[in-house]
Structure 1
Amino acid sequence: MIRFKFTLSRRKALMGFMFTLPWLIGFVFLFAIPLYQSLQYSLHSMKLGERGLVQSFIGLENYKHAFYVHATFNQELTKSVIGMLVNVPLIIFFSLFVATILNQKFTGRSLARLIFFLPVIVTTGVISSLGWADTMTQAIGDTLNSGQSSGILSNFQLEAFLKEMGLSRSIVGYLADAVSRIYDIISSSGVQILVFLAGLQSISPSLYEASRIEGATAYDNFWKITFPMMTPLILTNTIYSIIDSFLNSSMAQLLKDTSFRLFDFGLSAAMAWIYFGVIALMVGLFAGLISRRAFYYDT
C-alpha cells in the first residue's frame, strides 16, 4: 500500500487548491465557453437575420473602429483609468483608517460598523432589485453635497489653504479632488473595511503587549506591527477595489449600451476585450508592486 507523506508545504498547497477548486469548476463550465464566444464575436460583424445572428469575419476591424472611429471610447476608457488611479488609493487609506478606529472598544461600536457597511447593503441584492438603492444613495449623496457646499471650507478655500501651507500644486489638486469624491469613497469602502477589520482582529494581542513593555507608542505599534500585518490584505483590497472601480465606471455602461441598445455585438465584444486587457494590466501592475512589500506572518 502506497502512503503519501503530506508535509506542511504540501498541506498548504492542497488547501489552496481545494479553496480555488469551486472557482475553477465554475470557470470551466460557466465562463470558458462565453469567453471564447466573446472573442469570436469581436472578430466578426454581427447582424440580425431571419435565423438569428449572422456572423461575417472581419478580423481586427472592430478593434480599429473602437480606437479610431468611435466617438467616445477612448475618452471613456481614459476617464475610467484616471478615476481608478484617483479613487483606489483613497479607498484603501480610508478603509484602513476606519477599520483601525472600529477595531477599538467604545460605546456604539456595532452601530458604527453597521453605518459604514450600510452602502454595501443598500446597493446589492434584493434591495437593489427593488429600486430603493438609487433613491437612498441619491439622498445620501445630496446630503453630503449640501453639507460640503455649506461647510466652512469650500473646495476653493481648501485649495487656497493648502497652498498657503506650502504644498505643491499636484498634492493640493489631489487632496481637493479627494474631498469632492468623499461620497464615492465612503460608498465604495464597505467591503474593504470589513476585510481590514477581520485582519486587525486576527493580530495577536501579545504582539502589542510585548511592544508596550519595550516602550513603544501607539504610532510605533501601527507602523511596526499593524501596517506590516495588513499588507497582504492591502493587496487583496487593492485588487478588489480596482475591479470594482472598473465594473462601476461609465465605460461599463458604454459596453451595455453598444450591445443592447445599438445591437452592435461585435464592436461591444471588441471593446470588452480591450477593457479586459486594461483591467488585467492595472491589476498585474499594482499586484506586482504591492506583493514585493507584503509581509506574511507564518504561525
Structure 2
Amino acid sequence: MTRRRMSLQQRKAALGIIFVAPWLFGFVILFLIPLYESFLYSLNTLTLGKGGFDTQYAGFAFYKELFRSHPTFTRTLLEAVSDIVINVPSITIFSLFVATLINQKFRGRVFARSIFFLPVLLAAPVLSLENSSQMASIASSVTGASEDGGLAFTSFELQRLLLEAGVGGVIVDYVTGSVDRIYEVISSSGVQILIFLAALQSISPSLYEAAKIEGTTGYEAFWKITFPMISPILLTNVVYTIVDAYSRNALSQMITDTAFQSLNFSLSAAMAWVYFIVVGLILLLTTTLISRKVFYYD
C-alpha cells in the first residue's frame, strides 16, 4: 500500500503549524489559563487561608464597585484611553517620518539609526525619570523657564499660532497634546522606526525607476508607491503601539498597587478585565478601519 504524498499546500500548512506550535503552547500555559483564573478572581472575594486563597462568590460586585464607589478608577481609565488615542497616531506618524528620513543615502546614517533606537534600550530609566520631579528641574535648565512657570515643555505658543491661523479647536488640542508628549513619543518609537525602515527597504527600486521615467514627483511617489506598499506594516505598527501603550500609564500602576500593596486581588482583577475589554475594543475598531485600506502586493 503506497502512502499518499502531501501536496505543496499541505506541506506549507504543516510547516506553519510547527512554526506556531511553541507560541500556541506558551499562549495556553502562560496566557489563556491565567486569563481564565483572573476572571474567576474578579467574581470571587479572595482571602488568605492556610492552604492558599479562600474564595467566596461575589458575582459582579467588584465591577459595580469600580464604577459606583471607586474614587479614581473611571477618571484614570478615561485618561489611559485618551493617552492611547493621542499617542498611537503621533508615534506612528513620527516613526514613519523618521524612517523615511534615515532610509535616504547619506553619510553617517547607521549612527543616526542607532540614535533613534537608543531610547528603547534606555526605556526604563527614561520613563522613570519622566514621571519624577527631576524632569521639571531638567526642563528649567534646558529652556530657562521656572519650574512652576508652566512654559517649559508646553505648547502655548504653538496653540496660539494655530488658533490665529484658523485651525479647528479639536485639531489644535490634538497637535498641542502630541507636542506636550514629545519625549514619550520619541522614547516609544524605536521599534516602530526599525519596522518601517525594514518595510521601506523591501520595496523594489524598479517601481521608483518606472515612476521616475513617467515624470512622477517625490511627493506623488510617496503616496502612490511608498505608502500603499508599507500599509500592511502600518497596521502592524498600530497594533504594536496600542499593545505597548497598554502597560505604560497610571491605570496599569493602579492595578498593580491594588493587587500587591492593598492585597485586594479581586478588585485588581476586575480593573484588569475592564481595561482589557476597553483596549480590545480599541484594537478591534482600529484594525477593522485600517484593514479596509491595506494594500497587499502580489
On whether the aligned pair clears a TM of 0.5, the verdict is yes
Give 1:109 shift.
0.6
Q: Is the 8 A contact 2:154 2:180 kept in 1?
A: no
- Compared CA separation, residues 144 and 14, structure 1 to 2 (3 A): farther
Q: Is the 8 A contact 2:139 2:152 kept in 1?
A: no
Which residue is equivalent to 1:102? 102
- Compared CA separation, residues 250 and 12, structure 1 to 2 (3 A): farther
Q: Which moved more, 1:15-24 or 1:51-60?
A: 15-24
Q: SS of the residue aligned with 2:101?
A: helix
Report the Cα distance in structure 2 between the residues aligned to 1:110 and 1:234, rounded to whole angstroms.
23
Which residue is equivalent to 2:199? 199
Query: Cα deviations across residues 13-71 of structure 1 (Å, max 9, x unaligned)?
Result: 55544443321111122222212211111110011233332111111111111121211
Q: Is the 8 A contact 1:144 1:183 kept in 2?
A: no
Report the Cα distance in structure 1 between the residues aligned to 2:179 and 2:234, rounded to whole angstroms.
22
Report the Cα distance in structure 2 between the residues aligned to 1:248 and 1:237, rounded to whole angstroms.
17
Q: SS of the residue aligned with 1:38?
A: helix
The amino acid across from 2:5 in the alignment is R
Report the Cα distance in structure 2 between the residues aligned to 1:143 and 1:236, rounded to whole angstroms.
35
Report the Cα distance in structure 2 between the residues aligned to 1:161 and 1:106, rounded to whole angstroms.
34
Q: Is the 8 A contact 2:196 2:233 kept in 1?
A: yes
Q: Is the 8 A contact 1:141 1:183 kept in 2?
A: no
Query: Cα deviations across residues 129-183 of structure 1 (Å, max 9, x unaligned)?
Result: xx68745997789656755676999622211211222211211221111111111
Structure 2 matches for 1:173-192, cutoff 5 A? 173-192=173-192
Give 1:295 shift.
0.7
Q: Is the 8 A contact 1:95 1:189 kept in 2?
A: yes
- Compared CA separation, residues 166 and 217, structure 1 to 2 (3 A): same
Give 1:218 shift.
0.6
The amino acid across from 1:269 in the alignment is A
TM-score by length of 1: 0.89
Query: Cα deviations across residues 243-294 of structure 1 (Å, max 9, x unaligned)?
Result: 1112111110010010001100111111111111111111111011101111
- Compared CA separation, residues 224 and 265, structure 1 to 2 (3 A): same
Query: Cα deviations across residues 81-122 of structure 1 (Å, max 9, x unaligned)?
Result: 011001100100000000000100111111111111001011
Which residue is equivalent to 1:30? 30
List runs of 5+ in structure 2 lacking aligned partners.
146-150
2:242 is the alignment partner of 1:234: no
Which residue is equivalent to 1:40? 40
Report the Cα distance in structure 2 between the residues aligned to 1:99 and 1:141, rounded to whole angstroms.
30
Say which of 7, 25, 43 aligns to 1:5. Answer: 7
The amino acid across from 1:190 in the alignment is G
- Compared CA separation, residues 11 and 2, structure 1 to 2 (3 A): closer
Q: SS of the residue aligned with 1:115?
A: helix
Report the Cα distance in structure 2 between the residues aligned to 1:288 and 1:161, rounded to whole angstroms.
35
Which residue is equivalent to 2:73? 73
Report the Cα distance in structure 1 between the residues aligned to 2:118 and 2:128, rounded to whole angstroms.
13
Report the Cα distance in structure 2 between the residues aligned to 1:250 and 1:233, rounded to whole angstroms.
29
Which residue is equivalent to 2:119? 119
Which residue is equivalent to 1:246? 246
Which residue is equivalent to 1:260? 260
Q: Is the 8 A contact 1:122 1:132 kept in 2?
A: yes
Report the Cα distance in structure 1 between the residues aligned to 2:127 and 2:36, rounded to whole angstroms.
34
Q: Is the 8 A contact 1:102 1:113 kept in 2?
A: yes
TM-score by length of 2: 0.89
Q: SS of the residue aligned with 1:166?
A: coil
Q: Which moved more, 1:65-74 or 1:258-267?
A: 65-74
**Paired residues, what number?**
290
RMSD: 2.5
Structure 2 matches for 1:113-152, cutoff 5 A? 113-123=113-123, 128=124, 134=128, 147=142
List runs of 5+ in structure 1 lacking aligned partners.
none
- Compared CA separation, residues 238 and 202, structure 1 to 2 (3 A): same
Give 1:240 shift.
0.7
